[in-house]
Amino acid sequence: MDVSQDTLEQHDEGEPSDAGESQAPGERSRGLLEYLAEGLVEDPEGVSVERFEEQDGTIVLELCVADGDYGKVIGRGGRTAHALRTVVKAAATGTGRRVLVDIVD
C-alpha cells in the first residue's frame, strides 16, 4: 500500500489503514469522493456526499457542493466529473458492487 492511499484512508477517522476494511460497502468510495471533491472546491465545508443503495445492490453516491463550486467539480466539458467517476469506480472494484456518482444541485 502506498503512502497516498494510506493518507486517504486516514482522512476522516485518523485511524490506521486497516480501518477501511471494516466499513460498509461503498463507504470507502464515499470517503474518497468527499476527499477528492474537498480538494477541488473553494468551499470544502460545502461538500457533502450521500450514499444510497438500489435494489440491485448498486451504490449511488450523490455529491453536493456550494453553488459557486459546481463548475470546479464538473470541469471543462465534464472532464473533471468524468475523472472523479472513474477514480471512484476503480476504488470500488474489489467490493463486487457497482458504484455510480451523481453530481446534484
pLDDT at 61: 96
Which domain does 77 fall in, by range? Answer: 3-103
Chain segment 56-86, per-residue pLDDT in tens = 989 999 999 999 999 999 999 999 999 999 9
pLDDT in tens, 88-99: 999 888 888 899
Q: What is the pLDDT of residue 7?
A: 44
The total of structural domains in the chain comes to: 1
Whole-model pTM: value is 0.76
Average pLDDT, the chain: 83
Distances (CA, A) of 30 to 27, 34, 71, 76, 86: 5, 6, 20, 24, 13
Q: What is the CATH number of the domain that holds 23?
A: 3.30.300.20
